[in-house]
Amino acid sequence: MCERFIYESPIFSKNKMFIGIDDTDSEKGMCTTYIAALLYEKLGTTGYPRLIRLNPNIPYKTRGNGAIALNAKGNPKKIKESVLETVKKYAHLQNKKTNPGVVFMEDLNQKNKKILNDFYQKTVSEIVTIEEAEEIAKSVKAEIHKFNNGRGVIGALAAMGARLSDKTYELIAYRTRKDYGKQKKIDRNSVFEMNEKTYPETFDNIDPDTGQILITPHGYDPVFCGIRGNSVEIVKKAWRILKPLEKIERIQIFETNQGTDAHLRKKKISGLEPYDCAILVGKVISNPKSIEGGHVIFRLSDKSGEVDCAAYEPTGEFRDIIRKLRVGDHIEVYGGIGKYPTTLNLEKIQILKLERAYERIPPECCGRRMTSAGKGKGFKCKRCGKKLGEDAAVVKEIPRDLEFGFYEVPPRARRHLSMPLIRTKK
């Protein structure tokens, strides 16, 4: 697709008010996307609003670490009033961990576009401070509004600046207020039918191993469901197949960086910083071991340093692949540095080269294998009584039960930004 030539983000069109919003939700609910959906209706916005996911590893994110950006035409003063009023009304301001930020810009020239896109590239992959965001806002003459500690200005600015070389869409359906807190009701068969008819152009609808429905996350009110796909047409088609068994207040389609690996950067191990998102190439230097809680960990080395890599318990059967790695294997790993400073949380791996594995077995005599005469004492034949030393052992190659190529965590454990392998085949 020659998107580069035909696609100019609606965010950057002329004579509009550019709006960025982030961090309005709390563990108890709300979703910044809902505020975007309300504003989309209210402001007469053009183009799709954008849902921009940012670094999933940073510790103070509320839930999915998603910010939104949209644009509107009209009286700037009225637009600002309307946005701020809506944020104040719907954001969970009473929660101290909810720190909304709202950013307005009336003009975006080439230079400022670049500054904001560079800021986005950093925010999606590393850690950024509020002070840095405020500096950037000042330099591009953006108007910022902070609520509580206002950390949301980081995401609001980044969402506004994101230039997406790859993008996906999400159709989000919202529940009516009377159903908040209740179990989400959907015809299960319709979800499987939708998946059958639209996958892989839509993705992560269900988890094939557990049969779990992933489009209707638990909690997360007011979100009823979210369908992710490669085009507007496919998420609309998918929505038409679904049969919700409760009233839907509204639906909204977002342009997003979900499922694009936008957060990952090729790095050297020695250059890793806390909360980085990275792609590393190296050699396995310790066999994987299972630790308490069902996590599997091994150590990886490149010429610059060493790092522990982990497949955590929720990644399920992905751990079975990791357990098969052996010292000497060459692999590429994709993931983020989480709360343990030196551990990379694996999202997917590529096996580049498998080390050959050998075992030493007793030689044969009288038509059958000799038995061990004791540790380090060689072998003996039970039939004729012949004895042989340790050096008579036969070296046999152990077949590696692994193949070259990519392996990924199951959909239920996938991060919003991680590209499903099925999309890489596009």
Would you tell me which residues interact with Zn ion (CB under 5 A)?
A: 365-366, 381, 383-384, 386
Which amino acid is residue 202, in one-letter code?
A: T
Q: With respect to Zn ion, which residue has the nearer C-beta, 361 or 366? A: 366
From 59, 57, 69, 58, select the one nearest 22 (Cα to Cα). Answer: 69
**Closest approach of Zn ion to the CB of residue 385, in Å:** 7
Between helix 110-123 and helix 152-161 the angle, nearest 10°, is 130
Distance CA 64, CA 55 (A): 9
Query: Cβ 365 to Zn ion, closest distance in Å?
Result: 3
299 vs 380 by CB, closer to Zn ion: 380
> Closest distance between Zn ion and the C-beta of residue 261, in Å?
60
Residue nearer to Zn ion on the CB measure, 334 or 379: 379
Nearest approach, Cβ of residue 335 and Zn ion (Å): 54
Nearest distance, CB of residue 370 and Zn ion, angstroms: 7
| Shortest Å distance, C-beta 360 to Zn ion | 19
Identity of the residue, 271 or 363, whose beta carbon is nearer to Zn ion in the bound complex: 363
Torsion, Cα 68 69 72 78, to 10 degrees, reads: 60
> For residues 247 and 368, which CB has a smaller minimum distance to Zn ion in the complex?
368
Tokens for 167, please give them: 């993008």
Rounded to 5 degrees, φ, ψ at 283 are: -115, 140
Rounded to the nearest whole angstrom, what is the least distance from the CB of residue 384 to Zn ion in the complex?
A: 3
Classify strands 265-266 and 277-291 as parallel, antiparallel or unpaired.
parallel
Please spell the DSSP secondary structure of 139-208, one letter per residue. HTT-EEEESTT-THHHHHHHHHH---SS-EEEEEEEE-GGGTTSPP-B-HHHHHHHHHHHTTTEE-SB-T
Q: How far is the CB of 278 from Zn ion (least distance, A)?
A: 57
With respect to Zn ion, which residue has the nearer C-beta, 159 or 381? 381
- The residues, ordered by sequence, that sit 6+ positions from 20 with a Cβ below 8 Å of its Cβ are 67, 68, 69, 101, 102, 103, 155, 156, 157, 158, 159, 160
What minimum distance in Å lies between the beta carbon of 343 and Zn ion? Answer: 52
Closer Cβ to Zn ion, 88 or 369, answer by number: 369
Tokens 């359906």 — which residue? 173
Instruction: Give the C-alpha separation, 190 to 224, whole Å.
Output: 15
Q: Which is nearer to Zn ion, 289 or 383 (CB)?
A: 383
Structural element, H or E, at residue 407: strand 405-408
- Cβ atoms of 407 and 249 within 8 Å: the answer is no
Q: Are 301 and 283 in contact (CB under 8 A)?
A: yes
DSSP secondary-structure letter at 8? -
Q: What length does the chain have?
A: 426
Query: Between 232 and 361, whose beta carbon lies closer to Zn ion?
Result: 361
Minimum CB distance to Zn ion smaller for 339 or for 383: 383
Cβ atoms of 163 and 28 within 8 Å: the answer is no
Q: How far apart are CA 298 and CA 425, in angstroms?
A: 28
Residue with tokens 């994987």: 288
In the complex, what is the shortest distance from the CB of residue 386 to Zn ion, in angstroms, rounded to a whole number? Answer: 5
